[in-house]
Chains A and B, each alone.
Chain A
C-alpha cells in the first residue's frame, strides 16, 4: 500500500510534468500563431484593416456640355437637389415611402417605381428618388431626416436639354450605369450616387470626353457605414465640352416643322459636309429619360407606331423611291445615254410576263431625261435602265453615298442596300432579272437607304464632291475629292432637279419664297404594300383610306441655291401617304431650307401652320402623355431595368419591320405601283 502510494506520487509528478510540457507546447503554438498573424501577415491584414476603415466616396464629375456650332448649349448641367435611398439603411420602408410621397409630392407611379427598384436593389447601390427638387421641398425633407433612415439627400447637377425631344436621338440621354456596364468597366464611379453616363447618341459615344474625372473623399466609417471623419478631399475635374456642327436653331426648327409625322430630316453644309441638323421625330424627351423614365411614359413610347425610340436618320431604312432618279440620270449619262433621247410613256410597259406601270395612269407621252426627272416618269427609267443594266447604275449610287456607312459618333448605323447582280447571286443564289433592274431603277425592290444617305446623296449631287458627313466640330474636315463625273453631266442633272421645283415638275409646291434663292429637289414615294391586279383595275386605294402602316413613305431630297448650292437636305416621312399638304415633304423641305436663308420668314410660316396640328412637339407630347394616361386603366408594367438595351430592342424590331415589308415587295416583280 505504501509503495503503491509512493508510486502514485511518482506517477503524478511524471504526468504533471507531461501536462506542463503539453501546456507549454500549446503556449508556444499560440505564440507562434500570434507571430504569424502579427508579423508575417501584418502587411496583408493592415491593408484589410485600412480598407475596412476607409471608405472612398467618389463625387461624380460635372459632365462636359454639348454645344452647337455657335457655342449654344444643346446639353448642359443645372444645379439640382437630389434624394436617394440606400436600401441597406432603410429601417421602415413603408414609413419612408409614405413620408417621401407626402413631402416630395411623388405620384403613386413614382412610388411604384421606387418599390420595383428597391426589390431589384443590391443593398449598397443608391436608388434615385428625385433629382430635381426645388429648395422648399428639399428643406422640408432635411428637417424630417432624423426619422427617415436610409434617405440620402445631396446637392448635385442634373443634365438638361433645352430642346427636349428635338435632340433626343441626336444627343441621346444620360442615366445610371447598368449592372452589366459596372461588371464590364469595374470603375467604382459608376455606382456612385448621382453619377450618370451617356446612354445613347452623342452622350454615349463621346462619353470619354464628356465624363471628366471624379472627385474623391476619403472618409473613416464604422462597420455600419456611419462616417466618422473626413480624411481628405480631391475635387473633380469636369468633363470637356463637345462642339457639334449642328445649328441649334435649325435643329429645333426642323424638329418642329416635321409636325405630327413619323419622320426624319437631315441638313448638310455642302461646302464641308457639316451636319447642320439631324432630326428624328417623334422622339423621347432626353430630359425625362435622364431622370429615370416613368412607367407609363415608357409604355407609351414603346407602343407608339411612330417609333419614338428609333433614330430614323440612321436606323430607318426605306426604299428611296424616285429620289434616286437624279442619280440614275448621272449613271445613264455616264453609260452613254443621250440626255435628249426620248422615251414614249404610255402609262405602262410590258416586260416578260409582268406589266410595269407609271405613277401617271395615262402616261407622260414623249419624255427626255430632264422631263423624266422633273415629272418623275417611271417608264423612262424602266426603259433606259433596261438598256444599260442596273450593274451600270449601282456603282454610281454607291459613289454618291448610297449603301455606305459613315464614320459618325453613333452606335447604330444601318447601311441599306444598293443591289447588283453579284449581290443578288451571293445573297439569294439567284440570277439578276430585268424586273430587278426595273424595280431598282425607281428606288424600289432591293434598294434600301437611310435618310442620312439620301442627304449625303443630295450634298454630293450639289457639290460634285465626295463629301463625308461630320458632326463633331473639333474633328478635322475630311477631304472631299471630286466625284468621277463630268461637270456637264452634273449640270444636266442639277438642271433637271431645278425643273422639279421651278419648271412644272412634281415638286412645284416647294418653290422658295426667299427672293433670289431657288431650290433644286426630287420628290419620292415608296410603296410598302403590294397592289394587286384587281385593285389596280378597280382603282388604287387612296392612302388616306389605308391604315397608317400601309401608307406610302414620302421622301424628298433637295439643295439650295440651285445655281450655287450651299445646303443640301433630305426629308423622309414614314407612312406619310401625302395626305396633308402642310405636313408633306415639299413644304417641309422648302421651310427647312427657307430657315437657312431667311429665318424670320421660316418662323412666320411655321407659326401659321403649327396650330393646325396641335402646336409644337413639347405641347403635343404633354397632351399625348395626358391622353395616354387617361386610357390606361391598369397600372403600367415596370419600366425595364436597362432602358438602353430595351430601347435598342424596340428600335431594332421597328427597323426590322420596315425592311421586311420592302422585302416582300421586292419579290413582287410584276406590278410595282411607282411614283406619284
Chain B
C-alpha cells in the first residue's frame, strides 16, 4: 500500500481494509462457482441471484464500516428491543396464519428477525458488560441479566421452531459472557450441566423431527433413506472427491441429485466433491483467517464494548462455519445452519456481512487510534 502514492487513490477508498474485503470476495466468488456447478452449469438459477445478493451485502458491509464505533454501543439496546419485538411479532403472526412463520418479506431477501438477533445479541451483551462496573463481574448480577437477555430471544426462536438459530444465539451470547470474564468455573459447570441436561432436552424439549435428527445423527445407518440419507449422501460426496476432487462441473452426487440440499445447507459437500480436500482446506483456512482477523480486531480495540463485540462477532461467523461443516461431515446433527458465502440464500450472507461490517467499523476506529 505504501508504494502507492496518496494521490493515486482517493483517501476513503485507500482507507478500506482491502485485504479483508479481498478475502471475503475470494470466499464469495468461490461460492458462486460452486452454485454455478450445483445448478448444472446454469448461471441464472442460483449463481446470479446469489452474486447480486453477495455484492449488495458486501457493499452494505463496507457502508457499515463507515458507521462510528460509538453508534453501535449506543444503538445496541434499542436494536435488541426492536428485534425482540419483531420476533414476538413473527411468532404472533405465525399463530394467526396457522403455521410456523419465521420471516418478513423484504424483496431482496426474506428477513428473519432471528438472524438479525445473532449479531445484535453479541452487541447487546458487549454493551451490558461495558456498562457493568468492573468489580461486579464475579457477582450474580453479572450473570442473570445476561441470561435473561439471551434466554428471551433464544426461547422465542425455539418456539418457531428453529433449533440451529436458537443454538447460535445462545452460543454467541455465552461467548461474550466468557470473554467478559464471567468466572470460568461457571462455564465448566455449565458444560457438565449440559452433558446431563442434553439427553433430557432431547427427550422432552425437542420436536419429533428435531429429536429424530439427533437420534439419526447418533446412528445414521438407522434411517438410510430418511433423514440419515442426507448425511450418508453428503459423506459419499466428500469422500468420493478425494484430494483433488472430480473436477469443476464433474460432481456426480450433486448433478444426479443424490445429494439433497446440495446448493444450500450441503453446499460444502457439492464443493468438496468437485474440488476435493484442497477446496475444503482452502475454505477452512480462509474462514480461519477471517475469524482470526475478527478476534485480533477485538484484541486491538480500546473500548471494552468493541473488544467484546469484535471477538463475539468473529465467533458468530466461526459458529456458522464450524456447525455447518461438522453437520455436513456427519460430526453434528443436521440442524439447518448454512455455510456463509457458499450456501445459496441471502440470510446467512446478510448476517455474516453485518458482523463483518461492524468488525470493519471497529477496525477503522482502531486505525484512527493508531494514526492519532
Task: Say whether A26 contacts B322, CB under 8 Å.
Answer: yes
Chain B 287-322 interface residues, beta-carbon cutoff 8 Å to A: 288, 291-292, 295, 298-299, 304, 307-308, 311, 315, 318, 322
**Contacts A27-B284, A224-B257; A38 near B181 (Cβ below 8 A):** no
Contact B237 A49 (CB under 8 A): yes
Chain A binder among B59-67, B195-203, B240-248, B346-354: B240-248
Digitize B226-254: 1 where CB-to-A-CB distance is under 8 Å, 0 elsewhere: 00000001011111111100000000110
Instruction: Name the contact of A45 in the complex, choosing from B238, B256, B304 (C-beta under 8 A).
Output: B238
Cβ A38 vs Cβ B276 within 8 A: yes
Q: B14: CB under 8 A from chain A?
A: no
Least Cβ–Cβ distance between A182 and chain B, in angstroms: 20
Residue of A nearest to B256 (CB): A222
B178 touching A15 by the CB < 8 A rule? yes
Question: Given the interface contacts A15-B181, A53-B256, does A41 sit within 8 Å of B239 by beta carbon?
Answer: yes
* Chain A minimum-CB-distance residue to B234: A37
Q: Which segment of B23-31, B47-55, B162-170, B324-332 sits at the interface?
A: B324-332
Q: Which of A1-52 contact B (CB under 8 A)?
A: 1, 4-5, 7-9, 11-13, 15-16, 19-20, 23-24, 26-27, 29-31, 33-35, 37-39, 41-42, 44-46, 48-50, 52
Kindly state whether residue B103 has any CB partner on chain A within 8 Å: no
**Cβ contacts under 8 Å, A52 to chain B:** 233, 236, 252-253, 256, 258
Verify B235–A15 contact, CB threshold 8 A: no
Residues of B within 8 A of A26 (CB): 318, 322
Residue of B nearest to A2 (CB): B134
Interface size class, chain B = 35 or more
User: Which residues of the partner chain A approach B79 to less than 8 Å between Cβ atoms?
Assistant: none
- Is B18 an interface residue when CB atoms closer than 8 A count as contact? no
User: Are A4 and B181 in contact, CB atoms less than 8 angstroms apart?
Assistant: no
Shortest Cβ distance from residue B197 to the other chain A in the assembled complex, whole angstroms:
21
- Cβ-defined contact, B329 with A20, below 8 A: no
In the bound complex, do residue A19 and residue B257 qualify as a contact, i.e. CB atoms below 8 Å apart? no
The answer to whether B241 and A19 touch across the interface, beta carbons within 8 angstroms, is: no
Assess whether B175 is in contact with A30, with CB atoms less than 8 Å apart: no
Checking A8, A16, A48, A221 against B240 with a beta-carbon cut-off of 8 angstroms, the contacting residue is A48
Kindly state the separation between the CA atoms of A8 and B325 in the bound complex, as whole angstroms: 34
CB–CB A223/B257 < 8 A: yes
Let me know if A12 and B308 touch, CB within 8 A.
Answer: yes
CA–CA, A506 and B216, complex, Å: 83
Complex Cα–Cα for A16 and B281 (A): 24
Q: Does B335 contact A (CB under 8 A)?
A: no
Please tell me if B280 contacts chain A, counting CB pairs below 8 Å.
yes
In the docked arrangement, what's the CA distance between A31 and B307, Å? 29
**A425 CA to B238 CA in the complex, in Å?**
75
Give every chain B residue within 8 A of A38 (Cβ-Cβ): 238-239, 241-243, 272, 276-277, 280
Q: A16-B295, A20-B295, A220-B256 are in contact. Are A49 and B288 (CB under 8 A)?
A: no
Cβ–Cβ contact A222 & B257, under 8 A: yes
**Would B256 and A34 count as touching, CB distance under 8 A?**
no
Q: A23-B318, A33-B331 are in contact. Are A15 and B304 (CB under 8 A)?
A: no
Expressed in whole angstroms, the Cα–Cα distance for A4 and B295 within the complex equals 22
Asked if A228 lies at the interface with its beta carbon under 8 angstroms from chain B, I say yes
A24 CA to B285 CA in the complex, in Å? 10
**A34 near B288 (CB under 8 angstroms)?**
no
Inter-chain CA distance A29–B332, complex, in Å, is 12
What A residues does B307 contact at CB under 8 A? 9, 12, 16
- Whether A39 contacts B175 in the complex (CB less than 8 A), given A11-B181, A34-B280, comes out as no
> Cβ of B258: which chain A residues have Cβ within 8 Å of it?
49, 52-53, 222-223
Whether B256 and A19, one on each chain, are in contact in the complex, defined by CB atoms closer than 8 angstroms, is no
Are A39 and B243 in contact (CB-based, < 8 A)? Answer: yes
B238 and A35 contact, CB distance less than 8 A: no
A224 to B180, CA, bound (A): 52
Instruction: Tell which of B178, B236, B237 touches A19, judged by Cβ atoms closer than 8 Å.
Output: B178
**Residues of chain B lying within 8 A (CB to CB) of residue A35:** 277
The answer to whether B43 has its CB under 8 Å from any CB of chain A is no
- Whether B134 and A1, one on each chain, are in contact in the complex, defined by CB atoms closer than 8 angstroms, is yes
Closest A residue by C-beta to B277: A38
Please determine whether B329 and A30 come into contact, CB atoms closer than 8 angstroms.
yes
- The answer for the CA separation of A7 and B181 in the assembled complex, in Å, is 10
The answer on a CB contact under 8 Å between B284 and A31 is yes
Which B residues are in CB contact (< 8 Å) with A13? 299
Please determine whether A221 and B256 come into contact, CB atoms closer than 8 angstroms.
Answer: yes
The distance in angstroms between the C-alpha atoms of A312 and B325, with both chains bound, is 71
Are the CB atoms of B179 and A37 closer together than 8 Å?
A: no
Q: A12–B137 Cα gap in the complex (Å)?
A: 12
Tell me the complex Cα distance, A258–B237, Å: 68
Whether A48 and B137, one on each chain, are in contact in the complex, defined by CB atoms closer than 8 angstroms, is: no
A8-B304, A27-B288, A42-B239 known; A33-B329 Cβ under 8 A: yes
Determine whether the beta carbon of B137 is less than 8 Å from that of A19.
Answer: no
| Chain B residues whose C-beta falls within 8 Å of the C-beta of A221 in the assembled complex | 256
Q: Are A223 and B135 in touch, CB under 8 angstroms?
A: no
Q: Which residues of A contact B280 (CB under 8 A)?
A: 31, 34, 38
Contact (A19, B175) CB under 8 Å given A31-B284, A46-B242, A48-B236: yes
Contacts of A220 on B, CB cut-off 8 Å? 252, 256
With a cutoff of 8 Å between Cβ atoms, the chain B residues found around residue A33 in the complex are: 326, 329, 331
**Known A-B contacts A30-B326, A37-B329, A53-B256; A45 and B137 likewise in contact (beta carbons under 8 Å):** no
Assuming the contacts A19-B295, A44-B239, A52-B256, asked whether A8 and B284 have C-beta atoms less than 8 A apart, the reply is no
Interface centre among B238, B239, B281, B311 (most CB of A within 10 A): B239
Q: How far is the CB of A33 from chain B (nearest CB, A)?
A: 5
Flag if B329 contacts A34 (CB, 8 Å): yes
Q: How far is the CB of B255 from chain A (nearest CB, A)?
A: 8
Q: How far is the CA of A34 from the CA of B322 in the complex (A)?
A: 13
> Are B311 and A39 interface neighbours, CB within 8 A?
no
Chain B hits for A222, CB < 8 A: 256-258
Q: Given that A24-B288, A44-B239 are contacting pairs, would A8 and B137 also be in contact in the complex, using a CB cutoff of 8 Å?
A: yes
What is the CA–CA distance of A53 and B236 in the complex, to the nearest angstrom? 11
Q: Is the CB of A46 within 8 A of B311?
A: no
Q: In the complex, what distance in Å separates the CA atom of A222 from the CA atom of B252?
A: 9
B326 / chain A contacts, CB cutoff of 8 Å: 30, 33
Q: Which residues of B contact A23 (CB under 8 A)?
A: 288, 291, 295, 315, 318, 322
In this complex, the member of A38, A45, A53, A224 whose beta carbon has the largest number of chain B beta carbons within 10 angstroms is A38
Between A and B, 7 residue pairs with Cβ closer than 8 Å are A4-B134, A37-B239, A38-B239, A45-B240, A49-B239, A52-B253, A223-B258
What are the 8 tightest A-B residue pairs by CB atom distance, in nearest-first order?
A: A45-B239, A49-B240, A4-B134, A223-B257, A38-B277, A34-B280, A37-B239, A45-B240
Q: Which residues of A contact B (CB under 8 A)?
A: 1, 4-5, 7-9, 11-13, 15-16, 19-20, 23-24, 26-27, 29-31, 33-35, 37-39, 41-42, 44-46, 48-50, 52-53, 220-224, 228
Known: A23-B318, A42-B242, A46-B240. 19 other contacts (CB 8 A): A8-B137, A8-B181, A12-B180, A12-B181, A12-B308, A15-B178, A15-B181, A20-B292, A27-B288, A29-B331, A30-B284, A30-B322, A31-B280, A31-B284, A34-B281, A38-B242, A46-B242, A52-B253, A53-B253
